[in-house]
């Protein structure tokens, strides 16, 4: 515990991330006002004037929308990162097991997928299958696959050089079994750290997609679309552009700090 | 500053430039997937053969990317002609557009025809604009390219001094502030920074235009004025990443022999660092810049939409809302090719910048 307290980055990251999850979960059962309920009489009210953070152009409560936005952003991002992490890690450890030409092909493939930013693949997907949560998850998740494939491959290759793995190989253990018993558990720390950091990136990307109207359709509140809507009222109600951005930045900051903190905590090399 | 990740630790794995290209440069070594610097030694012929190999692999990668995007667009449900025309089109119009787009041909034929067009500089015809897509891309590039360049220059200009100073005052107050700057600038969305800049400099102070682009005919200064706020918004997240990389790189180099020798020669620490440590730190900084190019493009798409700039990103967005599939396909291909080319250039830059490789080439 004392060790934890000496790691402010980890602690701050943990607190912000837990708060984010708490708000997101709370929004499922309670928000100050119904987040999609319009109340034109009270439109564009300043913070504390009406509700805690004011209202938007339709008189909807900003605080309630932000809370629901946290859930929407987080759930989309988590699904996307889980998709990327599971597929990518699977590819990485299998390639580390087989090596040879497969390694070359997969690495080139990773370069290629990584060359298409998720915003653009979401646009392509959106044109054909329509935009929405599914499109966002696929676009972000596919982009994450090469990140985890490269990470898992690099980490797994290092494990394959360890003495205990060499011993297992010489004892005639099947490679698939070695991967499951020795490789995966030993690279899981690095994967977990990367999941945390990529979650931050996913939230940023999801916000960007929603901002462009490529995320979940209205009236579902998302942080990105709240910012897009706010842009119309920058002169009248600049505060509308403040809160959703702060929410995004805080969420990403928390996850990045948590990821960095976790890396320090889990990496024995840095414990000196 | 206890507990802070040591600047993303490029330091421990300097032989591997195959980093996770997430906004957080992190300490992962991907094995020796790409040829590491150490392998490349010896004669100039080796260097040339390496160059040829890399160029060939670049060409193959580009071909595969084009094929991939072409195929994916083909496999996706929905007929491009029907999507472009909407629901109200008559069967005759639909058939005509299908024929015009060559959709009645099999996929390999269409792909080869398109590829042949690319080599002639013909990317097809935009459905909504009724002009060649190549010209459209060129026109929009005249906005996006300067925007990206200013953003890159800005981000490096912020990151190098910050990173160097943070490394010199390692664990001190300045290091802490620089670390905080990195954390925050990486976390804020570029398009939100754009909105804040508009609120501050356009709405409140009235110093800058809130968006739009006067066109290069209006003069250099007017254009610069239109591009500077978007470029700042675009540069900030990059600067955060690069600051970490620069700090880690200088920290690593600072204790190496040549810097110690320079100090022993009587050069002041400042000069020793700027003459010897910084040039070496530039290698990882520019590598990261290359690897971050995907994010720069994604940021440009968003920032151009915030500032209503008629660039490539806005073109992609407009093509989406107007269901101009051909333009979208070409812009996506163009951006992807650009990213791949950047990574290729980073590889080449290694050959030029790294003294050990230069020595091998002579």
Task: Summarize pLDDT for B335-360 with one digit per residue, the tens.
Answer: 888 888 888 887 777 766 665 655 54
Closest CA to B26 of B49, B6, B1, B8: B8
Residues whose CB falls within 8 Å of the CB of residue A150, separated by 6 or more in sequence, listed in order: A88, A92, A107, A110, B18, B20, B28, B30, B33
Q: Is B200 on the interface with A (CB under 8 A)?
A: no
Q: What is the pLDDT of residue B77?
A: 67
Chain B CB contacts of A250 under 8 Å are 187
Mean local confidence (pLDDT), B99-126: 81
- Predicted model pTM: 0.84
Chain A CB contacts of B297 under 8 Å are 117, 120
Contact yes or no for A150 and B22 at CB 8 A: no
Whether the predicted pLDDT of B15 surpasses 50: no
pLDDT band at B4 (very low <50, low <70, confident <90, very high): very low
Chain A CB contacts of B186 under 8 Å are 252, 256
Determine the distance in angstroms separating the CA of A150 from the nearest CA of chain B, rounded to an integer. Answer: 6
- In this predicted model, what pLDDT tens digit does every residue of B186-201 receive, in sequence order? 999 999 999 999 989 9
Residue of A69, A127, A189 to mutate when probing chain B, most B C-beta within 10 A? A127
Chain A CB contacts of B78 under 8 Å are 128-129
Mean local confidence (pLDDT), B76-80: 70
pLDDT band at B104 (very low <50, low <70, confident <90, very high): confident
Q: Between B267 and B205, where is the model more confident?
A: B205
Local structure of A139: helix, strand or coil? helix
Q: What is the pLDDT of residue B128?
A: 76
Q: How far apart, in whole angstroms, are the C-alpha atoms of residue B124 and residue B141?
A: 17
Which residues on neighbouring strands pair with residue B132, listed in sequence order?
B125
Closest CA to B242 of B25, B29, B30, B13: B25
Chain A CB contacts of B29 under 8 Å are 154, 158
Cα–Cα distance list, A30 to A25, A67, A182, A251, B338 (Å): 9, 9, 45, 20, 47
Q: What is the DSSP letter of B101?
A: T
Q: What is the DSSP letter of A56?
A: -
Q: What is the pLDDT of residue A111?
A: 80
Structure token pair of residue B170: 């390692």
Structure token pair of residue B25: 């440069």
Residue of B187, B305, B330, B334 to mutate when probing chain A, most A C-beta within 10 A? B187
Tokens 């002609």 correspond to B81
The answer to whether the beta carbons of residues B234 and B296 sit under 8 Å apart is yes
Local structure of B125: helix, strand or coil? strand
Q: What is the pLDDT of residue B3?
A: 36
* Residue pairs between chains A and B whose CB atoms are closer than 8 Å: 206
- In this predicted model, what pLDDT tens digit does every residue of B140-183 receive, in sequence order? 999 999 999 999 999 999 999 999 889 888 888 899 999 999 99
For B29-67, give the DSSP string: --TT-SPPGGG--S-HHHHHHHHHHHHHHHHHHHHHHHH
The B residues from 52 to 111 touching A (CB cutoff 8 Å) are 57, 60-61, 64-65, 68-69, 72-73, 76-78, 83
Residue of B61, B78, B196 with shortest CB distance to A112: B61
Closest CA to A77 of A240, A213, A224: A224
Q: Average pLDDT of chain B? A: 77
Q: How far apart, in whole angstroms, are the C-alpha atoms of residue A142 and residue A108?
A: 15
Closest CA to B249 of B217, B219, B222, B276: B276
Q: How far apart, in whole angstroms, are the C-alpha atoms of residue B224 and residue B229?
A: 9
Q: What is the pLDDT of residue B2?
A: 36
Q: Which residues of A180-206 are buried (b: 16+ CB within 10 A; e: fewer)?
A: eebbbebbebbbebbbbbbbbbbbbbb
Contact yes or no for A207 and B189 at CB 8 A: yes
Query: Residue B325's closest chain A neighbor by CA?
Result: A127
Contact yes or no for A227 and B26 at CB 8 A: no
Query: Residue B297's closest chain A neighbor by CA?
Result: A117
Which residues on neighbouring strands pair with residue A61, listed in sequence order?
A55
pLDDT band at B37 (very low <50, low <70, confident <90, very high): very low
Determine the distance in angstroms separating the CA of B362 from the nearest CA of chain A, rounded to an integer. Answer: 30
The answer to whether the beta carbons of residues B3 and A8 sit under 8 Å apart is yes
Residue of B72, B198, B302 with shortest CB distance to A212: B302
Contact yes or no for B188 and A245 at CB 8 A: yes
Distance of CA A107 to the CA centre of its chain: 23
CB-based burial of residue B104 (10 Å sphere; 0-12 exposed, 13-18 middle, 19+ buried)?
A: exposed
Residue of A10, A123, A263 with shortest CB distance to B320: A123
Contact yes or no for B343 and A245 at CB 8 A: no
Q: How far apart, in whole angstroms, are the C-alpha atoms of residue B197 and residue B93?
A: 46
Whether the predicted pLDDT of B14 surpasses 60: no
Chain B CB contacts of A115 under 8 Å are 65, 294, 336-337, 339-340, 343
Q: How far apart, in whole angstroms, are the C-alpha atoms of residue A125 and residue B253?
A: 45
Cα–Cα distance list, B280 to B171, B186, B325, B356 (Å): 21, 24, 45, 11
Query: Residue A228's closest chain B neighbor by CA?
Result: B306
Q: Taking the CB of residue A152, how many other CB atoms lie within 10 A of it?
A: 28
Contact yes or no for A114 and B294 at CB 8 A: yes
Q: How far apart, in whole angstroms, are the C-alpha atoms of residue A172 and residue B341?
A: 44
Distance of CA A88 to the CA centre of its chain: 15
Give me the tens of pLDDT residue by residue for chain A, a chain 272 residues long.
566 666 888 889 999 999 999 988 888 888 777 777 777 777 777 776 676 777 777 768 788 888 889 999 999 999 999 999 999 999 999 999 888 888 888 888 888 888 888 888 888 877 777 778 888 899 899 889 999 999 999 999 999 989 998 899 899 889 898 999 899 999 998 999 999 989 999 999 999 999 988 888 888 889 998 898 888 887 777 888 888 999 999 999 999 999 988 888 886 554 43
Query: Residue B307's closest chain A neighbor by CA?
Result: A231
Residue of A119, A128, A241 with shortest CB distance to B76: A128
The answer to whether the beta carbons of residues B159 and B288 sit under 8 Å apart is no
Determine the distance in angstroms separating the CA of A52 from the nearest CA of chain B, rounded to an integer. Answer: 21
pLDDT-wise least confident of A113-127, B67-81, B139-153, B283-297: B67-81
Q: What share of chain B is helix, strand, coil (3-state, %, to 5)?
A: 70, 0, 25
Angle at B73 between CA B69 and CA B78, to 5 degrees: 175
Q: What is the pLDDT of residue B39?
A: 45
Structure token pair of residue B133: 């897509």
Angle at A242 between CA A39 and CA A27, to 5 degrees: 55
The answer to whether the beta carbons of residues A260 and B179 sit under 8 Å apart is no
- Is the reported ipTM for this assembly greater than 0.95? no
Q: What is the pLDDT of residue A200?
A: 92
Query: Residue B27's closest chain A neighbor by CA?
Result: A263
Closest CA to B24 of B191, B240, B338: B240
Contact yes or no for B64 and A112 at CB 8 A: yes
| CB hemisphere CA count around B227 (13 angstroms) | 24
Q: Between B237 and B31, where is the model more confident?
A: B237
* Phi, psi for B125 (deg, rounded to 5): -110, 135
- In this predicted model, what pLDDT tens digit does every residue of B306-333 receive, in sequence order? 999 999 999 988 888 777 778 888 888 8
Contact yes or no for A238 and B331 at CB 8 A: no
Residue of A127, A211, A253 with shortest CB distance to B323: A127
Q: Between B254 and B78, where is the model more confident?
A: B254
The answer to whether the beta carbons of residues B102 and B110 sit under 8 Å apart is yes
Residue of B60, B186, B195 with shortest CB distance to A227: B195
Q: What is the pLDDT of residue B195?
A: 92
Chain A CB contacts of B210 under 8 Å are 234
Q: What is the pLDDT of residue B324?
A: 79
């Amino acid at each position: 515990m004392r060790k934890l307290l000496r790691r402010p980055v980890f602690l701050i990251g943990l607190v912000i991330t837990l708060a984010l999850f708490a708000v997101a979960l709370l929004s499922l059962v309670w928000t100050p006002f119904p987040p999609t309920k319009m109340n034109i009489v009270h439109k564009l009210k300043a913070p504390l004037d009406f509700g805690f953070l004011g209202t938007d152009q339709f008189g909807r409560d900003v605080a309630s929308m932000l809370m629901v936005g946290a859930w929407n952003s987080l759930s989309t991002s988590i699904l996307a990162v889980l998709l990327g992490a599971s597929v990518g890690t699977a590819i990485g450890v299998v390639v580390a097991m087989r090596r040879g030409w497969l390694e070359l092909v997969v690495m080139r493939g990773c370069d290629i997928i990584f060359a298409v930013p998720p915003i653009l693949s979401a646009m392509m997907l959106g044109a054909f299958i329509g935009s929405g949560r599914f499109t966002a998850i696929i676009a972000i998740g596919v982009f994450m696959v090469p990140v985890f494939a490269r990470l898992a491959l690099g980490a797994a290759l290092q494990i394959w050089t360890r003495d205990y793995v060499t011993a297992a190989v010489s004892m005639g253990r099947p490679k698939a079994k070695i991967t499951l018993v020795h490789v995966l558990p030993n690279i899981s720390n690095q994967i977990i750290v990367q999941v945390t950091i990529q979650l931050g990136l996913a939230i940023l990307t999801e916000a960007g997609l929603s901002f462009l109207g490529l995320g979940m359709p209205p009236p579902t509140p998302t942080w990105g679309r709240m910012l897009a809507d706010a842009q119309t009222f920058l002169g009248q109600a600049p505060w509308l552009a403040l809160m959703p951005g702060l929410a995004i930045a805080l969420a990403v900051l928390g996850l990045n700090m948590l990821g960095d903190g976790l890396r320090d905590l889990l990496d024995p090399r840095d414990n000196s | 500053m206890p507990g802070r990740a040591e600047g993303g630790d490029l330091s421990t794995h300097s032989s591997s430039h195959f980093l996770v290209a997430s906004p957080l440069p992190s300490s992962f070594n991907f094995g020796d997937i790409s040829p590491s610097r150490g392998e490349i030694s010896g004669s100039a012929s080796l260097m040339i053969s390496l160059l040829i190999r890399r160029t060939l692999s670049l060409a193959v990668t580009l071909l595969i990317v084009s094929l991939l995007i072409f195929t994916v667009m083909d496999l996706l449900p929905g007929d491009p002609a029907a999507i472009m025309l909407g629901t109200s089109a008559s069967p005759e119009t639909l058939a005509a557009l299908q024929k015009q787009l060559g959709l009645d041909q099999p996929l390999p034929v269409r792909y080869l025809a398109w590829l042949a067009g690319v080599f002639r500089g013909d990317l097809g015809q935009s459905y909504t604009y009724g002009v060649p897509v190549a010209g459209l891309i060129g026109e929009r590039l005249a906005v996006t390219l300067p925007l990206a360049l200013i953003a890159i220059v800005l981000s490096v200009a912020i990151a190098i001094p910050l990173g160097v100073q943070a490394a010199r005052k390692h664990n001190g107050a300045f290091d802490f502030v620089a670390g905080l700057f990195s954390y925050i600038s990486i976390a804020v969305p570029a398009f939100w920074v754009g909105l804040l800049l508009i609120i501050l400099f356009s709405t409140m102070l009235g110093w800058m235009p809130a968006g739009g682009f006067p066109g290069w005919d209006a003069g250099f200064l007017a254009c610069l004025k239109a591009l500077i706020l978007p470029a700042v918004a675009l540069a900030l997240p990059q600067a955060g990443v690069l600051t970490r990389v620069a700090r880690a790189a200088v920290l690593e180099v600072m204790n190496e022999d040549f810097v110690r020798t320079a100090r022993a020669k009587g050069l002041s620490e400042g000069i020793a660092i700027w003459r010897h440590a910084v040039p070496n730190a530039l290698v990882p900084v520019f590598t990261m810049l290359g690897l971050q190019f995907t994010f720069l493009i994604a940021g440009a798409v968003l920032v151009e939409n915030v500032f209503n700039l008629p660039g490539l990103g806005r073109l992609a967005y407009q093509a989406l809302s107007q269901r101009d599939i051909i333009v979208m396909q070409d812009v996506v291909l163009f951006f992807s090719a650009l990213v791949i080319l950047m990574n290729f250039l980073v590889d080449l830059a290694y050959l030029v910048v790294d003294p050990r490789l230069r020595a091998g080439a002579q």
